[in-house]
Amino acid sequence: MKYLSEYRDARIAKALAHRIRATASRRWVLMEVCGGQTHTIVRQGIDELLGDAVEMIHGPGCPVCVTPLEQIDRAVALASRPDVTFTSFGDMLRVPGSDCDLQQVRARGGTVRVVYSPLDAVELAQRNPDRQVVFFAVGFETTAPANAMAVWRAHQLGVRNFSMLVSHVTVPPAMIALLEAPDNRVQGFLAAGHVCTVMGWDEYEPIAERYHVPIVVTGFEPVDILEGVLLAVTQLEAGEARVENQYVRSVRREGNTAARELVGRVFRLVDRKWRGIGEIPSSGLAIREEYADFDAELRFGVQDIHANESPDCRAGDVLRGQLKPIDCPMFGNVCTPMHPLGAPMVSTEGACAAYFTAGRLRSPVAGGVQ
């Protein structure tokens, strides 16, 4: 398939890895801010291929993983109501709450439905006017346009039994929080291509300039990632710090202007808590006042539900790039995909799940593949 097989070519990948190792005069630390990129890096052994030239650390790039515990508890409370049909993408069903997850709520008789689009939830509400239909809106800027469209569409159609539990987060404030942390190790970022397909990269330019870090918008295939790493290392070696776009086949600087406009019409920026990290100012999206009738937190009064993270789960350290999953004492024994302590082990984009499914039970070997 054009634009897919070319980016999985082993010869090209090895050549890029050789160029990276030849370019790097020291060991650089790069962070990818995308769970899809994390899985490619781990599954394909890209971190091992880079050897001593680059250490890849995994950032808070999994939207399921960063959804805070209290938001899962709110979802469980809503799904447990007899008058509610709770809808969600499938990847949220097994994320642990304080007492149970959504799949367990369904097993106990709650009406929990997996949908493939938030507009499916709007249609479900239309077909069942006697039920309250709630959609769990989770994700970065990538999924925000579709969720904004669902709220706008429900408003246009007058679907009053539809609402949305919103747990949207945005990437740039998280990058700033990481860079300003006293234990920051990040020297450059690989930015998520899908987020930038929607939002463009103009928001990243002030970050690159202020913190003097290269930011490379990168795709998800092995050649994409290796080329992104090479661009970042080349900048670091030259003492430069700017935004570059490796993912030219999908991303423009301005992004998708129609999608950005719709998101801005329905949502507003708010402070948002991230699982294991804490509150990051202006890092979340919430429904604007003019669409407040579709805000499930307000409709059902669950905004006062709060929860404390498990002290046994090191998700915060993993999401901040301070801990590799295999260095967590719970990884692979107490915490497994069948019995996860936290979202990074159960999510299909989580770093812990990436290591576990790839059979990574040890640290990458220094020197890697030659």
Q: Number of helices and strands (H, E) in the chain?
A: 17, 11
Q: What was the pLDDT predicted at 2?
A: 64
Report, in angstroms and rounded to the nearest whole number, the Rg of the chain calculated over CA atoms.
21
Q: What was the pLDDT predicted at 303?
A: 92
Q: What was the pLDDT predicted at 360?
A: 86
pLDDT band for position 310 (50/70/90)?
confident
Q: What was the pLDDT predicted at 312?
A: 87
Minimum mean pLDDT range among 53-62, 127-136, 279-288, 354-363: 354-363
CB atoms inside a 10 Å sphere around CB 177: 19
pLDDT in tens, 115-167: 999 999 999 999 999 999 999 999 999 999 999 999 999 999 999 999 999 99
Q: How many CA atoms lie within 13 A of 313 on its CB side?
A: 26
Token pair of 314, please?
A: 């090191």
Superfamily of domain 67-170+255-267+277-300: HypD, alpha/beta domain 2 (3.40.50.11740)
Q: What was the pLDDT predicted at 3?
A: 65
For the chain, residues classed under CATH 3.40.50.11740 are 67-170+255-267+277-300
Closest-CA residue to 103 (of 113, 115, 111, 94): 94
Computed over every residue of the chain, the mean pLDDT equals 93
Closest-CA residue to 316 (of 333, 328, 304): 328
Look at residue 70 and tell me whether its pLDDT is greater than 70. Answer: yes
Q: What was the pLDDT predicted at 311?
A: 85
Token pair of 104, please?
A: 């367990």
Q: What was the pLDDT predicted at 365?
A: 44
Give the torsion through C-alpha atoms of 88, 89, 93, 98, to 10 deg: -60
What is the CA 211 to chain-centroid distance, rounded?
22
Compute the distance between CA of residue 2 and CA of residue 5 in angstroms, rounded to an integer: 6
pLDDT band for position 7 (50/70/90)?
confident
**Bridge partners for 290 per DSSP:** none
The most distant pair of C-alpha atoms in the chain lies apart, rounded to whole Å, by: 66
Count how many residues are written for the chain. 370
Buried residues in 85-97 as b, exposed as e (16+ CB within 10 A): bbbbbebbbbbbb
- From residue 110, alpha-carbon distances to 85, 113, 134, 181 in Å are 8, 9, 13, 41
- From residue 20, alpha-carbon distances to 26, 209, 233, 363 in Å are 11, 24, 7, 21
Q: What was the pLDDT predicted at 298?
A: 97
What is the distance in angstroms between the CA of the first residue and the CA of the last residue of the chain?
29
Token pair of 6, please?
A: 């070319």
Look at residue 339 and tell me whether its pLDDT is greater than 60. Answer: yes
- From residue 146, alpha-carbon distances to 151, 171, 258, 286 in Å are 9, 18, 12, 14
pLDDT in tens, 100-112: 999 999 999 999 9
With a pLDDT cut of 90, the percent of the chain lying above it is 87
Q: What was the pLDDT predicted at 363?
A: 52
pLDDT in tens, 210-233: 999 999 999 999 999 999 999 999
Q: What was the pLDDT predicted at 348?
A: 85
Would you say the pTM of this structure is higher than 0.75?
yes
Map tokens 């770093």 to a residue.
351
pLDDT band for position 362 (50/70/90)?
low
DSSP conformational letter for 230? H
Q: For 26-42, what is the mean pLDDT? A: 96
Look at residue 267 and tell me whether its pLDDT is greater than 90. Answer: yes
Query: Is residue 14 within 8 Å of 223, Cβ to Cβ?
Result: no
pLDDT in tens, 168-183: 999 999 999 999 999 9
pLDDT band for position 369 (50/70/90)?
very low
With a pLDDT cut of 70, the percent of the chain lying above it is 97
The pairing of strands 162-169 and 243-245 is unpaired
pLDDT in tens, 274-292: 987 899 999 999 999 999 9
Strands, E, within the chain: which ranges? Answer: 28-32, 54-58, 84-88, 111-114, 132-139, 162-169, 188-192, 215-218, 243-245, 267-274, 278-287
Minimum mean pLDDT range among 118-132, 179-193, 252-266, 297-311: 297-311
DSSP conformational letter for 365? P
Helix (H) or strand (E) run with residue 22 in it: helix 10-23
Dihedral sign of CA atoms 193, 228, 275, 205 in order: negative
pLDDT band for position 366 (50/70/90)?
very low
CB atoms inside a 10 Å sphere around CB 66: 31
